[in-house]
Structure 1
């Protein structure tokens, strides 16, 4: 399921496929081995913030 998460499958979908009672079980089990997901998430948030408010670049 690590490959599914890396491929962009939503964690809730992976949770349901695996039958985990809570999505945190899925995330705690699989995402700690994918540091790239953290970097991509950070970049996505930063890009959205910059696109929403170009003045952020100056600060």
Structure 2
């Protein structure tokens, strides 16, 4: 082959499509409607992080679920027993062994809070 055939082809013109972004009130309404729906997490990611359709669909959701929920609950101040019940664990040991990686963060926050109350 003596020539590059691709050089003789013209790419299609890119059409500029003006899109309207949701306003804050519209976004809140959308999240209210989707609360508890299977697409809620997808829409939260789209709105909060600005991910596009292809990026959202390419996400690996394996890290989202009980692990993420339990971590958020503990970091938010829920007791390990409450987290155990919410996640449906039968033993507190399972909950504590699963989330031991975040305990230093929680312990540090507790010490900081105690120091703030004690020393102002």
TM-score bracket relative to the smaller structure: 0.5 to 0.7
- Cα deviation per residue 1:1-50 (whole Å; 9 max; x = unaligned)? 1011001011101101111111111011013234212334556789xxxx
Larger Rg: 2
Q: Which ranges in structure 2 are unaligned for 5 or more consecutive residues?
A: 1-69, 116-120
RMSD of aligned residue pairs (Cα, Å): 2.4
The answer to whether structure 1 residue 21 and structure 2 residue 56 are counterparts is no
> What's the TM-score once normalised by structure 1's chain length?
0.58
**Greater relative contact order: 1 or 2 (C-alpha under 8 angstroms, separation 6 or more)?**
1
Give the total of aligned pairs.
50
Q: How does 1:33-52 map to 2 (within 5 A)?
A: 33-41=102-110
Please state which structure has a larger fraction of its residues in helix. 1
Distance 1:12 1:24 in 2: 10
Distance 2:84 2:107 in 1: 19
Which of these residues, 47, 64, 71, is aligned with residue 2 of structure 1?
A: 71
